[in-house]
Structure 1
Amino acid sequence: MAAADGSLSRDGLRGREAEQERVRSLIAAVARTGSGALALIEGEAGIGKTALLAETVTLARAAGFAAGVGKADELHHIAPLSSLAASLLHGDRPLLPGDAFADLAGSHDQRIWLVERLAEAIESKARGGPVLIALDDIQWADPLSRFALRHLPARLRTSPVLWVLTRRQGPGGPAEEIATAAHEALTTVTVALGPLSGTAIGQLAGDVLGAAVDDRLRQLLEGAGGNPFLAVEMLAGLRAAGPSGEPVPEGLVVGVRGRLASLRPGTLRFLQMGSVLGRGFTFQAAAALCGRPPAALLEALQEAVRAGLLDDEGDQLVFRHDLLRQAVYVDIPPSARKALHREAAGHLVAAGHQPIDAVSHILRSALPGDEEAAALLRRAADDVLPVTPGLAADLMTRALDLVPPPRPSGFVTGERAIVCLTRAGRDREALAAADRLLACRPPLDAFGRVQAALGGALWSLDLADELRRRTEAALAVGGAAPEVAARLAALRALALSRGEDLAAARTAGEDALRDAISTQDREAHVLALSALGEIAQNAGESALALQRFAALSAVDGAYLPEEIVAHLHLDDFACGERLLLRAADDAGSPRQAMLQWAQAQYHLGLGRLDDAETAFVTMERLEDDVQALVQQVNARVVRSRIALLRGDRDTARHHLAAARERRARKPNPGNTAVVHFLEAVHADADGDVARAVEAIRRVQRTGPFMRWRLLRDWAAAAVRMALRGAEHALAEDLAAQAQAHAARNPAVPTATGVAAHAMGLVRDDLGLLEHAVTLLRASPRPLVRAAACADLGPALLAAGRKAEAVTVLTEAHGLYAGSGAQAPAAAVLRVLERAGAGSRRAQAAPHPVHGWEALTASEKKVARLIAEGHTNRSAAETLVVSPHTVNTHLTSVFRKLEVNSRVQLANTVAALREN
């Protein structure tokens, strides 16, 4: 059947029976299993992707699915989330209410949080029945929608959500990224549409013409190459010409020209203006571009609709197919297109649209020297920077091309480009852009601004010496505005925090802080407090570090994770927990990955190895999501130590290799030292004492400040390795470092206890080892206390104090076992057995990898809540954790229980209760 305008209706989908059956089976599978799936429909333009998508939506709705359908647009592909919002909010039956995103404005400073809120809304909808989310022409989706679609299908894999995307064929692109990201988490199907058979094209022709197809017509249709859209356009042109008309020339553009030739000139101009605006456009915008009032164009609109070129959807006009718009568009001379796009941008801005709405037209039309266009790109970049920093960087790079220095505006634009490139993680490009600007000999004030803008990139690139050199040069030449000078001074102090003279660094930081306060510049204030916090940490002054980071967190809440970890360094886990709970309750909590880092440190300190591992895994995933790889090396080092504590040597080696690989990408002193220490731990576990000692020496050579940050809790382990290698001088040096750290932190039980433990090992002093255990009983860190008990036990045995030794060793065993540290627990048990006190103790059975008993305590809590019908958000609120943590737990639960949906999980939990 054909529609009134000669186009295919859904009932006229010919030759796609096999493809329809594939999507029908996928719909049935999602409805039956309750788990997610993704279908990618691909093919050349006009091959029938949209028709099959529409058929899929019809089938899904008939099967009880709630469906949201959207379409990305070639000229409207920049506004953040515009493509996905079309699938969720628009149409006769929107999937989500129109105000669903109204409360997300405050969350737009973080893409991860925005995606999580979207997931919560869709997950809540899916609790009432299966959901289909369809997006046509994914190749034109905006960057934020593409980011969301790379993560949402996997995040919602346990809910009955079917994602259907269409794309034009071609390598790479967003569709391939989305399908690759979803592939391992859920069923992913690609439906490739090839040319229709001659039989199907003949049936299609009969649908359109209402008559049998003769040989002449069949030969003519061979020119369509099996493309149904081209065939219909050729048939429509033939029908319009009448039986005695000339044959339709081959090629769509020529065919459309034939149809347009019969239109009045005003209608043709109206269509051309619409084609400049995009596939979808408003009547008012087209009228403005025509330079005529809307009332004067009513007849043109009616004629275009009657000709089957436009559909009137009420709020906008839409070309019936992208190929129709492109065919009209290519007939506009290129020079005229540029002028019209520039004019369209001006009309949009004048009509009150956001700058981002005009950007597509600016990118197609602006010529070098167009300062107005560059200013518009800057405004648009500022708007999208919080949610799509990569797009902001691209816009500013283009703006800089339009107005390069030595124009004054070129330096302003360049400074902003550096900031955007840095925020996007493109630090090398930021450095190159800065050097290009500086080569143009900027005025002194611009010189200072460029160097200050570059500071973040240099710090991220671990170029502390270069940062110091540049900031000192900018301060020396002078001419910078007071607030810029304050930023430069703070950046200099930050660079000095990596040096050996921390007293000079502290003086520089305090001077910078005074300057920042006097100029009331927030950026300088944040930088100065960050520098002072780093300096205090590197000096091993935990109380002062907390003071600095608490002040920093008060100025900028994004730095709450640093304040939390500073509390933990003081053994103040109660305050750390309160701040973590506050962060979990805060819907707009910033820096989600760093909050997970703080959560991991909290669990690790309390000996909760399972929960610490979960937080580290979540942190790595979140950092990978936004490509901000800050704590990846440290996370893998700790995960490797956790695996060793569990006795899992293979996993520990895997994490060591991953830590080395990540260190190679970011070889700063901290990453280098922590990997060397992990290599020492592995060498010691392998019995290679010489290699372990050499690795410890490399840690010592990395930098003096690392001893405070790295050996805070691990000094005794390093001393033990040195003593096993008969390196007594090295062991004494390590113990002296621990004592110096304790002197800086006399009120911290862990610091004083570790120092006594280390010195007791060096001196083989039973009294010091006993004192260490006494001190560490006031510490909240069970693994540190267990290590001291494990060393005290054999010393007591050697002194003939067996009963006391058994008591201490039993304490060590209980602390290790309670934390899940099976390897040292087993080692302590062997000592007890040799002492004749543990012969009847059974070795712990291997921990299962599948089934309910394979779940950790936290995973069991999450499993029960999800089985009861909780969403990730409500489960997170009940457990007072983040939804990201629940998602990580749930991934592990599904793997261990070998289920694929929440329905299956609920059945499994119910069966366990019955038994």
Structure 2
Amino acid sequence: MAGAGSPLSRSGLRGREAELAELQALINSVARTGSGGMALIQGEPGIGKTTLLAEVLSQARAAGFSVSAGKADELHHIVPLSSLAACLLQGEQPLLSGDVFADLARNHDQRIWLVERLAEVIEARAGDVPVLIGLDDVQWADPLSRFALQQLPARLRTSPVLWVLAGRREPAGPAEEIVAAAAGIFTTATVPLGPLTGEAIAQLADDALGAAVDERVRELLDGAGGNPFLAVEMLAGLRTAEATDDSVPPGLVVGVRSRLRSMNPGTLRFLRMGAVLGRAFGLQDAAALCGRAPAVLIPALEEAVRAGLLDDDGEHLVFRHDLLRQAVYADILPSARRALHREAARVLVASGHRPIDAVPHVLRGALPGDEEAVALLQRAADDVLAVTPELAADLMTRALALVPSVRPLRFAVGERAILVLTRAGRSRDALSTGDELLAARPPLEVFSRLQAALGGTLWSMDLAGELRRRTEAALALGGALPEIAARLAALRTLALSREYDLAAAREAGETALRDAAATGDREARVLALSALGEIAQNAGENALALERFAALSAVDSAFLPEEIVAHLHMDDFETGRRLLLKATEAGAPRQAMMLWAQGQHDLGLGRLDDADAGFLTMEHLEDEVRVPVQQVNGRVIRSRIALLRGDREAAREHLNAARERLGAKPNPGNTAAVLFLEAVHAEADGDAGLSAAKVRQVQQVGDFMRWRLLRDWVDAAVRMALSAGDHELAEDLAAQAEAHAGRNPAVPTATGIAAQALGLVKNDLAMLERSVELLDAGPRALVRAAASADLGRALLSAGRKQRAVAALTRARDTYAESGAHAAAARVRQALKGAGAGGGRAAPVQRPVQGWGALTASEKKIARLIAQGHTNRSAAELLVVSPHTVNTHLTSVFRKLEINSRVQLANVVMALPDS
């Protein structure tokens, strides 16, 4: 067999001149423009993908790229991040050191967090030199690596990073998903490799055999079907075979056998054990599977390397090609393979490998009733749950399938499967699994545990009524352990938080919290505090809600977003800002919910551009992890922002999106939010009657909606009612606002809006003036502007023109500073009506393209990036999420019609004030 560097080692380049030229052009483009790119080399096994990829890597190095490349492995295709780790840890200057990667692995409690950290490392390197990241056999990439490869190109679109993937053709496979995610972001190219021409195959024969090539050999090579690897293996067989008249076997398995026949039996056994372990394997593991000491196998290893079947990369033994491993593997009897995989799983675990490393062997070797395999699958699921919940759910489903229905173990495994399926967003599967187990009539204690496990499932499905029915039934039956009873009681309280009798719900919650404390069960405590926080919010008791959510986030930091929003409801934006900064620095979990909190913070301060970008980024992150929580409310708020700006088309798009998402999560809060948005749109369309009718529908959704939805928007609802001549509705709304103020006397927004609502209903100038005074003590810019506008119009009606102009001018300026240009325009019309001429000129309509199209936030970020800041350093300066910076930056590139940071720097430098 030819060694490295020989013609055979580069045989995949025969007949690939056009494909190589296309890839070279992409390398040159990324280096020249400083923007990203992606290439996918596709073809059947042995067609030359790996050799072509190796040549691309070589050419990129010569062009000054920092190159990191790796290869996914068939038997490691479920190990989280194993494929991408192979890329990042390879090369002369690896993007990550082993220590840094180990630190990432210890801390990756969230997929989004991990991707952001990886992006920072790659972005930093790309700031110095262009980067190429290559991954061979992408069809076997593990789920977390696939997730990262779908997100990272978009995150790094403004950096000179070239992604080169090689894999088999698989419609709707991982490679296609990754390329589809990058399409439209930057240049992508799919390079299919078809069979070589007869001329190229003849060149391979000349490379291998020289003058020995005759017509008989050329006819035999036709059996390779233009596949260079098969042709090379057949040629190698010819070159090493005995000089006889025997015909050359056409099949690869037979061809490999012809080489194995002359080997020592010990070498053959060693190769078969290696083939079971995977394309890359450790000598120690192979020795254990052979039942021999590693030193005894050295001769077998040396013989396999000499035969060209194995390479030694210094850390692992590697089959020189996947097809070689598969050929050796195919020569093992199927029953023996299953037994060897079971033994391989035991060997790997015994030698200290992670459970997930042994899972591929468990999946190939486990039989029903194998409790050892079930335990291993459960351990592996627990290990990967935080970063690949979908994989964890698959592992638990497989574990449950291995447990016969007659065994008690099935209930314990099923309980865990319910929890993991719910965490993965597969709530319907979780519910059907739970109901199937409950139908088996388990003992009361088990019945209670299963119902408790299903509690989170039902809550995520917005089935509060069903959650209450089940928890009450389980508690009534008895037989639950104290900690399970505490969880059931807390879950029942969570269900009660959606009902009308909040006093009874609070009493139940306090009892549940005491039970949780008595049992010391953390989960019960988290559930009880969460329920009590929900109840306090629904009752409009902001201080109590803050107390509950602060206690909750102290127990579990994942609930920090709820605490931040509770601070905002108390008008404590300074503490909210401090906690947001802390979360940004620490990489807090639930980053989508953290963006929700950030958006609420920016909206409250009147930063409409930042709020809109934050809610957009939140939706993207929720889409990425497939856990939609705030998408309805996010679209509702973005629609209102668009109306304030005067973008009716965008506002209508957001309304339609909110309606569509309501179908997936039709809980009372989402229903009320969409109804209220429809009321706002009806008002904007001039249909006062419809807007008032929609507000009445909001009232009917649930009493508690008045606090959650109308907390900051009741003034708008009052104006709608008055415009429709529905004074009774307006008075009811004002009474609600007054009751809310009574519950929150220390919150300027609550007391100020109550005075504003009452002033509007009674047309009371003194009360409207009082509302402006109260709201001046609060932080909410848009709320202050609305109150000043109401006061100005009332003063105009009363003939007090000078004071009216002052109030209206203040409202106009506040709206304009926030970017609420449509609202400012309406106030400007009132000023003209007062004979004041509208004051400052209306802002010129923002263009669609060019520097003038950028928002204030986008301009800040553009200047920072042009100065050399990374997304993270820019985010730290602006106290926002790096994800939000990326959202702004994507918009900047689109509006400026550029593709790289270099181009952005040139644009900024050319500005008159730069």
* Fold-level similarity (TM above 0.5): yes
Structure 2 portions without partners, runs of 5+:
none
Partner of 1:441, secondary structure, is: coil
Q: Map of 1:665-684 to 2, 5 A cutoff?
A: 665-684=664-683
Per the alignment, residue 685 of structure 2 pairs with 686
Q: Is the 8 A contact 2:95 2:121 kept in 1?
A: no
Partner of 1:9, secondary structure, is: helix
Q: Map of 1:374-773 to 2, 5 A cutoff?
A: 374-586=374-586, 588-773=587-772
Q: Whole-Å Cα distance in 2 between the matches of residues 163 and 247 of structure 1?
A: 44
Cα offsets for 1:747-772 (capped at 9, x unmatched): 21111221222222222223322222
Indicate the larger mover: 878-887 or 807-816.
878-887
Q: Whole-Å Cα distance in 2 between the matches of residues 104 and 602 of structure 1?
A: 30
Deviation at 1:112, TM superposition (A): 0.5
Deviation at 1:220, TM superposition (A): 1.2
Deviation at 1:852, TM superposition (A): 2.1
Q: Whole-Å Cα distance in 2 between the matches of residues 106 and 286 of structure 1?
A: 28
Indicate the larger mover: 98-107 or 110-119.
98-107
How high is the TM-score relative to the length of structure 2?
0.98
Per the alignment, residue 36 of structure 2 pairs with 36
Q: Whole-Å Cα distance in 1 between the matches of residues 4 and 561 of structure 2?
A: 62
Q: 1:25 to 1:810 in 2, by over 3 A?
A: same
Cα offsets for 1:578-625 (capped at 9, x unmatched): 211222222x31211111111111110111111111111111111111
- Aligned-residue identity in percent: 72
Per the alignment, residue 222 of structure 1 pairs with 222
Per the alignment, residue 22 of structure 1 pairs with 22
Cα offsets for 1:208-262 (capped at 9, x unmatched): 1123643222211111111101111111112222554422122222222222222
Partner of 2:100, secondary structure, is: coil
Partner of 1:842, secondary structure, is: coil
Cα offsets for 1:804-863 (capped at 9, x unmatched): 111111111111111111111111111111111126643321112322232222222221
Q: Is the 8 A contact 1:6 1:308 kept in 2?
A: no
Per the alignment, residue 260 of structure 1 pairs with 260
Q: Is the 8 A contact 1:6 1:208 kept in 2?
A: no
Per the alignment, residue 784 of structure 2 pairs with 785
**1:46 and 2:46 correspond:** yes
Indicate the larger mover: 767-776 or 308-317.
767-776
Q: Is the 8 A contact 2:512 2:528 kept in 1?
A: yes
Q: Is the 8 A contact 2:854 2:892 kept in 1?
A: yes
Q: Is the 8 A contact 2:252 2:327 kept in 1?
A: yes
Amino acid at match of 1:681: V
Q: Is the 8 A contact 1:6 1:232 kept in 2?
A: no
Q: Whole-Å Cα distance in 1 between the matches of residues 492 and 79 of structure 2?
A: 38
Partner of 2:74, secondary structure, is: coil
Per the alignment, residue 359 of structure 1 pairs with 359
Q: Map of 1:892-907 to 2, 5 A cutoff?
A: 892-907=891-906
Q: Whole-Å Cα distance in 2 between the matches of residues 160 and 520 of structure 1?
A: 53
Indicate the larger mover: 660-669 or 302-311.
302-311
Q: Is the 8 A contact 2:613 2:888 kept in 1?
A: yes
Cα offsets for 1:442-475 (capped at 9, x unmatched): 1222111111111111101000011111111111
Deviation at 1:559, TM superposition (A): 0.9
Cα offsets for 1:667-706 (capped at 9, x unmatched): 1111111001101111110112222122112211111111
Per the alignment, residue 872 of structure 1 pairs with 871
Cα offsets for 1:83-132 (capped at 9, x unmatched): 11111113555333222223324532111011100011111111221111
Per the alignment, residue 285 of structure 2 pairs with 285
Amino acid at match of 2:681: H
Amino acid at match of 1:540: G
Per the alignment, residue 861 of structure 2 pairs with 862
Q: Whole-Å Cα distance in 1 between the matches of residues 207 and 12 of structure 2?
A: 7
Q: 1:443 to 1:21 in 2, by over 3 A?
A: same
Amino acid at match of 1:755: A
Indicate the larger mover: 34-43 or 763-772.
763-772
Deviation at 1:775, TM superposition (A): 2.0
Amino acid at match of 2:881: S
Q: 1:6 to 1:811 in 2, by over 3 A?
A: closer
Partner of 1:39, secondary structure, is: strand
Per the alignment, residue 335 of structure 2 pairs with 335
Partner of 1:38, secondary structure, is: strand
Q: Is the 8 A contact 2:47 2:229 kept in 1?
A: yes
Cα offsets for 1:420-442 (capped at 9, x unmatched): 11111111111111111111111
Q: Is the 8 A contact 1:418 1:430 kept in 2?
A: yes
Indicate the larger mover: 360-369 or 294-303.
294-303
Per the alignment, residue 295 of structure 2 pairs with 295
Q: 1:845 to 1:349 in 2, by over 3 A?
A: same
Per the alignment, residue 134 of structure 1 pairs with 134
Q: Is the 8 A contact 2:12 2:52 kept in 1?
A: no
Q: Is the 8 A contact 1:238 1:245 kept in 2?
A: no
Deviation at 1:914, TM superposition (A): 7.1
Indicate the larger mover: 120-129 or 767-776.
767-776
Q: Whole-Å Cα distance in 1 between the matches of residues 233 and 758 of structure 2?
A: 88
Partner of 1:657, secondary structure, is: helix
Q: Is the 8 A contact 2:342 2:365 kept in 1?
A: yes
Indicate the larger mover: 99-108 or 382-391.
99-108
Q: Is the 8 A contact 1:5 1:306 kept in 2?
A: no
Amino acid at match of 2:599: A
Deviation at 1:483, TM superposition (A): 1.2
Q: Whole-Å Cα distance in 2 between the matches of residues 709 and 315 of structure 1?
A: 59
Q: Whole-Å Cα distance in 2 between the matches of residues 433 and 117 of structure 1?
A: 36
Q: Whole-Å Cα distance in 2 between the matches of residues 854 and 399 of structure 1?
A: 55
Per the alignment, residue 205 of structure 2 pairs with 205
Q: 1:676 to 1:207 in 2, by over 3 A?
A: same
Deviation at 1:549, TM superposition (A): 0.6
Cα offsets for 1:184-205 (capped at 9, x unmatched): 2121110000110111111111
Amino acid at match of 1:265: P
Per the alignment, residue 848 of structure 2 pairs with 849
Per the alignment, residue 324 of structure 1 pairs with 324
Q: 1:900 to 1:444 in 2, by over 3 A?
A: same
Deviation at 1:16, TM superposition (A): 0.1
Q: Is the 8 A contact 1:404 1:411 kept in 2?
A: no
Deviation at 1:299, TM superposition (A): 2.3
Partner of 1:8, secondary structure, is: helix
Q: Whole-Å Cα distance in 1 between the matches of residues 65 and 106 of structure 2?
A: 31
Q: 1:336 to 1:102 in 2, by over 3 A?
A: closer
Partner of 1:132, secondary structure, is: strand
Aligned pair count?
A: 914
Amino acid at match of 1:124: A
Q: Is the 8 A contact 2:564 2:580 kept in 1?
A: yes
Q: Is the 8 A contact 1:611 1:858 kept in 2?
A: yes
Q: CA RMSD in A?
A: 1.6
Partner of 2:190, secondary structure, is: strand
Amino acid at match of 1:546: L
Amino acid at match of 1:145: S
Per the alignment, residue 370 of structure 1 pairs with 370
Q: Is the 8 A contact 2:135 2:164 kept in 1?
A: yes
Per the alignment, residue 69 of structure 1 pairs with 69
Indicate the larger mover: 256-265 or 668-677.
256-265
Q: Is the 8 A contact 2:195 2:226 kept in 1?
A: yes
Q: Whole-Å Cα distance in 1 between the matches of residues 845 and 299 of structure 2?
A: 81
Q: Is the 8 A contact 2:809 2:839 kept in 1?
A: no
Per the alignment, residue 910 of structure 2 pairs with 911
Deviation at 1:481, TM superposition (A): 1.5
Q: Is the 8 A contact 1:71 1:136 kept in 2?
A: yes
Per the alignment, residue 251 of structure 2 pairs with 251
Q: Whole-Å Cα distance in 1 between the matches of residues 433 and 4 of structure 2?
A: 57
Q: Whole-Å Cα distance in 1 between the matches of residues 638 and 913 of structure 2?
A: 37
